[in-house]
Copies of this chain bind each other. A is one copy, B any other.
Amino acid sequence: MTRIDIPEDSLFGLGNLPYGVFSTPGTPPRAGVRVADTVVDLTFVDDVFAAPCLNPFMAQGHARWVEVRARILDLVSGDVPDAAVHPVDSVTLHMPFEVADYVDFYASEHHASNLGRLFRPGSEPLMPNWKHLPVGYHGRAGTVVPSGTDIVRPTGQRKGEAAPTFGGSRRLDIEAEVGFVVGTPSPLGSPVGADDFGERVFGAVLVNDWSARDIQAWEYVPLGPFLGKSFATSISPWVVPLLALDAARVATPPQTPE
């Protein structure tokens, strides 16, 4: 049995317990939880974690997420079977879930204003709709990859003087974003209220939606970002459960929606 040592300053203490999907040499991908610099194999907790992605567990819904989190906390704060314990640098991390749909909102007023100045110099940076509704677009679900995956610089058309030119993007950009992972579906045609956020959303990941700004600037009118953002989107391999964030709540900056 192993007792996991958690340094005082670890970002992966008992209040976090993020989920991921990992494999070791010669074994299939399965779900694990990270504690300090250790990955604990969750198939020792429940068979649902033998799947190569978290989707089957997420689909079981909020009550199960609460119950299983308590069982995981119980396991990792005591003696853990040796066979369940892997140093994090000995495992390969995979996509933690299959992405069904992926929506990118630009919800920061500062960011939206900066992009407005970038793409529409000389005009009002925020569009009239921005303060009334969350403006977003669908990204390409099939190109979401776990952090660490090599990204190929995309080629495409870039706006030119007389005509567009074709070649590798010269204005690759990065964006630090937070992604929310919806765990349970809703029936077609039924709205989900904002109050149901905590019931439906399983957890959060870090996101970088890589952007080829030159390709985007030429192609995005009027139907929005497409190839300029569809070559790759990186996410953290660890999904922090929404339940872990309750203890970390702070007041947000005041907002002035209209």
Contacts from A to B (Cβ < 8 Å): 100-101, 103, 106, 116, 119-120, 127, 129, 132-133, 135-143, 145, 149-152, 155, 157, 163-164, 185, 188-191, 218-226, 230-232, 258
Contact = CB atoms under 8 A, between A and B. Distances in A.
Contacts of A151: 189
Nearest to A189: B152
A129 B228 CA distance: 14
Contact of A230 (B138, B145, B155, B185): B138
Contacts of A129: 157, 164, 218-219, 221
Given A101-B140, A141-B100, A142-B100, A127 B189 contact: no
Contacts of A232: 188-189
Given A138-B138, A188-B143, A222 B127 contact: yes
A117 B224 CA distance: 18
Given A135-B222, A141-B141, 10 more contacts: A103-B226, A129-B157, A132-B157, A137-B223, A138-B138, A143-B188, A151-B189, A152-B188, A152-B190, A189-B232
Contacts of A145: 188
Which of A132, A143, A191 has the most CB atoms of chain B within a 10 A radius of its CB? Answer: A132
Contacts of A149: 188
Contact of A137 (B116, B132, B138): B138
Which of A127, A132, A189, A223 has the most CB atoms of chain B within a 10 A radius of its CB? Answer: A223
Which of A135, A145, A149, A157 has the most CB atoms of chain B within a 10 A radius of its CB? Answer: A135
A210 to B, nearest CB: 11
5 contacts: A100-B141, A100-B142, A101-B140, A116-B222, A138-B226
A119 B221 CA distance: 12
Contacts of A164: 129, 132-133
A220 B231 contact: no
A137 B119 CA distance: 18
Contact of A138 (B116, B133, B139, B157): B139
B157 A133 contact: yes
A132 B218 CA distance: 10
Nearest to A152: B189
Contact of A191 (B141, B155, B223): B155
